[in-house]
Amino acid sequence: MMLNVENLSRTIAERTLFSGLSFSLAEGESLALAAPSGFGKTQVLRCLAHLVPFDGIITLDGKSALETGVAAWRRNAVYCAQTPPIYPGSPADFEVLVASFASQVGRPHTPAREIAASWKVEHVWEKPWATLSGGEAQRAALAVALSTNPRLLLLDEPTSALDAVTRDLVEDRLSGVAAIWVTHDRVQAQRVADRVIDLEPYGVVRE
Amino acid sequence: MGWSVNEIIQITPWGVAGAASLVIANALVSFWLKLGLEKKILVAAARAVIQLILLGYILVPIFHFKHWGFVLGIALVMVSVAARESIRRSKRAYKYASWDMFLTLALATAVTSWFGSAILVGVDPWWTPRYFIPLLGMLLGNVLNGITIGLDATLKELDEGRTRIEGRLALGATWWEASQPAVAEAVRMAMMPTLNMMTVVGIVSIPGMMTGQLLGGTSPEIAARYQILILFMIAATVAVGTVSAAIITVRRLFDDEHRLRIERIT
């Protein structure tokens, strides 16, 4: 198994969002997480990206984040927020910055601009983030994430700001990419993922 | 023509009282314009009068009591009060902020005041209270502002720029790579007043210290030399202080696993 999650739980300010969550992901597989709203699906992804404290065991290729180093872990399991932040400068500047992170240096890199071109956002590549529309920013941020060739993409509603045509372009490009999708759209989950699992607050899991 | 202490015109208590009429004019303006500041103005003025008169009296025995332990004790009290004040003025803080700011202030001022006193002015011994304590007070007053802005701006950048920082972390940035732009912005803001001051000094403004020395009868060349020395020492102390304050603050807001723990802001 590439990704293994055992007994994951997350508590924010003494409120337990979920506990005893276990699932796994095989090499090259993509998975969609379905759960009622308010479950904390985003928090599941943030735990997987090691961005927040959690209880339980998460391993990628048999190793935990503390064994691989946290920065190296996040390079392998890249989290894409639903609404990307407004970075300083343009997407091109951001791509250069990301390539300069110690964890990325010397790694294979696909020019994000090529991905952006296939998603019809090449024209915004040199424009300030602040001037991008929601859908443009979503695609630009996703293009930079994909350009780093992670082992696993953690996608939080990655097409929520897109129309049907651009959504299809993004889905096409991501088919075959190991990913965990969080989506409220049941039809999309079935379409993009090899498996859909239903999360329940205390332990999982129905497939 | 020579300059000597004999030429100083003594300020009489009546002169000081006359100066107080200026503050009373302030209070009256506030009253007429309904600014609601008259009480604050009078209290602040009264505090300044009492504190400075006490300082005048206290400095006499302090300057005569030449023991390094005594000077150290006074310095620690001054730094502690400055640290507490920097936290009180900042809109945001965190759990160990007062302790961290105390250490930052102590380190930044200790290095430069030693360098200024021992090497630049050549005081022997370097902690001689007559030189060391005014120097330390001058540096603390300035670096206090820098550290307050540095602390507040760093926490503001982390708080409001949280999604940006986490976006960088998610792509494999370390805590330092992710937060470096926030630190740079905070230091820039904190250094701005000092840089502005150095730019206009002598043309637009004659600093308080130089004015004091000139009125006190020191020759203008000596006063200018002291002022340059003090300005550079202030700039160095503010730079060291704000950079350390910003970096320590950021480090405190991250845990050992490179996670931004925004809930630590109080």
Q: Which residues of A touch B173 (CB under 8 A)?
A: 71, 74, 98, 101, 103
What parts of chain A have a pLDDT lower than 70? Answer: 201-207
What rounded mean pLDDT belongs to chain B? 88
Position B97 pLDDT exceeds 70: yes
CB contact under 8 A, B171 and A53: no
The position carrying tokens 């100066």 is B19
CB contact under 8 A, A101 and B181: no
DSSP single-letter state for residue B5: G
Q: Which residues of A touch B255 (CB under 8 A)?
A: 53
CB contact under 8 A, B172 and A52: no
CB contact under 8 A, B174 and A72: no
For the segment B221-233, the average pLDDT, to the nearest whole number, is: 88
Minimal Cα distance from B264: which residue of A? A13
pLDDT for B65:
83
Q: Which residues of B touch A72 (CB under 8 A)?
A: 172
> B258 at the A interface (CB within 8 A)?
yes
> B264 at the A interface (CB within 8 A)?
no
Tens of pLDDT, residues B165-217:
999 999 999 999 999 999 999 999 999 988 888 888 878 877 878 888 888 88
Q: How many CB atoms lie within 10 A of CB A141?
A: 25
Instruction: Identify from B166, B168, B171 which residue to disrupt to test chain A contact, counting A C-beta atoms within 10 A and taking the largest count.
Output: B171
Q: Which residues of B touch A70 (CB under 8 A)?
A: 257-259
Minimal Cα distance from A101: which residue of B? B173
CB contact under 8 A, A101 and B163: no
Counting residues of chain B whose pLDDT is more than 90, the rounded percentage is 43
**How far is C-alpha B56 from the chain's CA centre?**
20
Q: Which residues of B touch A51 (CB under 8 A)?
A: 166, 169-170, 259-260
Minimal Cα distance from A150: which residue of B? B171
Q: State whether residue B17 is helix, strand or coil.
A: helix
Taking CB atoms and an 8 Å cut-off, how many pairs form between chains A and B? 76
E strand residue ranges, A93-190: 152-156, 179-182
H-assigned helices in chain B: 13-32, 38-64, 68-89, 97-114, 129-160, 162-170, 175-200, 208-215, 220-253
pLDDT for A202:
64
B260 phi-psi bin (left φ>0, alpha ψ -120 to 50, beta other)? beta
For the segment B43-70, the average pLDDT, to the nearest whole number, is: 87
Q: Which residues of B touch A13 (CB under 8 A)?
A: 263
Tens of pLDDT, residues B116-143:
889 888 888 989 998 898 889 989 988 9
Position B146 pLDDT exceeds 80: yes
pLDDT for A204:
53
Q: Which residues of A touch B177 (CB under 8 A)?
A: 100-102
pLDDT for B38:
86
Angle at B11 between CA B7 and CA B16, to 5 degrees: 160
- Phi then psi dihedrals of residue A125, to 5 deg: -60, -35
B259 versus A198: which is more confidently predicted? B259
Tens of pLDDT, residues A97-124:
999 999 888 888 899 999 999 999 999 9
Q: Rounded to whole angstroms, how far apart are CA atoms A192 and A172? A: 9
Q: Rounded to whole angstroms, how far apart are CA atoms A203 and A7? A: 8
Query: Which residue among A71, A84, A86 places its CB closest to the CB of B173?
Result: A71
pTM: 0.84
Q: State whether residue B78 is helix, strand or coil.
A: helix
Q: Token digits for B157?
A: 């950048």
pLDDT for B1:
43
CA distance A177 to chain B (A): 17
User: Is residue B10 exposed (0-12), middle (13-18) or buried (19+ Cβ within 10 Å)?
Assistant: exposed
pLDDT for B6:
52
pLDDT for A203:
58
- Phi then psi dihedrals of residue B177, to 5 deg: -60, -35
